[in-house]
Structure 1
Amino acid sequence: MQMRPAELAAIRAGDVDVAFRRWERPRVRVGTRMRTAVGLIEVTSVDRVAVSSLSSADARRAGAASLAALRQGLDRLHPERPVYRIGLRYAGVDPRHALRESVPDAAEIDAIVAALDRLDRASPIGPWTRATLLLIDELPATRAPDLAQRLGRDTPSFKQDVRKLKERGLTESLDIGYRLSPRGAAVLDHEGHPRPARARSVPEPGIPLPHIGAAATRALTARGVVRLEQVAGLSEGEVQALHGVGPYALRHLRAAMDAAGLTFRDDPGASPQTGVTTETS
């Protein structure tokens, strides 16, 4: 079930708790938990409904501008299909987030290594797990097609395999490309794979940028901005003027900065040097 970033953010905030889709048959079941960019989204109900029965309350719960807008959206594609109302709720953070930050002990590493060996043996292209981990370690935040080309692979199957590594907490998806997690690094180090320091990107200290979309991420990283603390050194107007930074990116940047006690440089109450929120008595 595909959902737009704005829809996901609204579900997490509790502002949206239903979605409407035209399907030949239900594609999700009650109790299904979907991993998304904002965390786990759980399906609480799935009901077939008539378009004529929809109300303004349904539109508000779905985040639509109006009942007319909701109906128009449903009629835009496949109007011959039945309509389903899907109840949704935010079910917490993705457990893979905590997993990838946990450094495994010896027993866990043995289990991970055995799992990677099984993936290699089952693959029609031969062993791929270590080469993929090493390439992501060498080239973090690099487009998946570019990484796939380096390995002589097609992009769809490469991305599918990277998801298998992500499920085990070994990699993390970025708005552009991936990076190796501490868990993944521990596995490579344990096996003695060469990871020269000069070949790896040393993370900048501070809070990473939130997921704001590939275009906005490229715009900020091209300016050397890769951490929230660096965003706080810019005015909101400067960020907004960057090509690729739109309302969605600004909203998520502001939310992440609020959570970290940071503001844009020109916000009232911000320190001129740091963008850190200051208290006034």
Structure 2
Amino acid sequence: MLIRLNVLEAIRSGDVTLAFRRWRRPTVKAGGMLRTAVGVLAVVSVEPVALRRITAKDARQAGYRTLSELTAFLAGREGDVYRVELRFVGEDPRVSLRESVPDVAEFGEIRDRLRRMDERSRRGPWTLTVLRLIAENPGVRAPALAARLGLETRPFKADVRKLKDLGLTESLEVGYRLSARGRAVVG
């Protein structure tokens, strides 16, 4: 679920508590968590709603000035309208993780996790290749990096997310870079 940065900041402050989306089927579930640029959000509820039942108050709670502004956002999109209640729950734990340099024991654990990820991959070892590619090309868009490996963008991004979950990479406005933790692992 994509959310604009200004809306994320308003969710963090508690000024925004709702989002409305048109989906063929929801991309988030009640009880789920979203890691975002401002921290972790809880998905409190996800409910289909008739467009005519959305109020001006709902629109303001979703960060829109008026109901017509919200309905204009939803117009022209396909799918059913869903009302999503969101709540900020805290900082993204990957932020502090990526800033910490692993000690000897952690370094071994990280290497073991990377080895297991490589072993489970249908295309063979990839983790260190992707980490080195990002190290050599910070700020380069994912499609360009994926192409260098002969991959489609979507599976490449999924791989980078796995590395990000270990605190080894971080997303930039455009592209990625290795975190302090990632630089220590790549050496």
Place the TM-score, normalised by the shorter chain, in its bin. 0.7 to 0.9
2:47 aligns with 47
Bigger CA drift: 125-134 or 111-120? 125-134
1:166 partnered with 2:153: no
Q: Structure 1 pair 48/103, CA: closer, same or farther in 2 (3 Å)?
A: same
Q: Which residue of 1 aligns with 2:124?
A: 126
**What is the aligned partner in structure 2 of residue 101 from structure 1?**
99
* Bigger radius of gyration among the two: 1
The alignment's C-alpha RMSD in Å is: 2.1
Q: Which range moved further: 161-170 or 9-18?
A: 9-18
- Structure 1: where are the runs of 5+ without partners? 190-281
State the AA in 1 paired with 2:171. Answer: S
Taking structure 1 as the reference length, what is the TM-score of the superposition? 0.60
Structure 1 CA distance for aligned equivalents of residues 5 and 106 of structure 2: 34
Shift of 1:74: 3.0
What 5-or-longer segments of structure 2 have no aligned partner?
A: none
Residue 179 of structure 1 is matched in structure 2 by 177
Give deviations 1:18-76, integer Å, cap 9, x for gaps. Answer: 11223345443332110112211111223333333322211111112212232343343
**Structure 1 residues 154 and 24: CA distance shift in structure 2, 3 A:** closer
Q: Is residue 69 from structure 1 mapped to residue 95 from structure 2 by the alignment?
A: no
Give the equivalent residue in structure 1 for 2:139.
Answer: 141
SS at match of 1:91: strand
* Cα deviation code 1:230-276 (max 9, x no counterpart): xxxxxxxxxxxxxxxxxxxxxxxxxxxxxxxxxxxxxxxxxxxxxxx
| Pairs within 5 Å for 1:1-281 | 1-78=1-78, 81-189=79-187
Closer, same or farther: CA 83–134 of 1 in aligned 2, 3 Å: closer
Structure with bigger strand share is 2
Query: How has the CA–CA distance of structure 1 residues 55 and 145 changed in structure 2, closer, same or farther, with 3 Å as cutoff?
Result: closer
Partner SS state of residue 84, structure 2: strand
1:18 partner letter: L
- Alpha-carbon distance change, 48 to 154 in structure 1, aligned in 2, over 3 angstroms: closer
Amino acid at match of 1:71: T
The superposition leaves residues 166-192 of structure 1 with CA deviations (integer Å, 9 ceiling, x where unpaired) of 111111111122111111122223xxx
User: Percent of aligned pairs with the same residue?
Assistant: 53
Q: 1:159 to 1:51 in 2, by over 3 A?
A: closer
Task: Give the Cα separation in 2 of the matches to 1:75 and 1:146.
Answer: 33
The alignment's TM-score, normalised by the length of structure 2, stands at 0.87
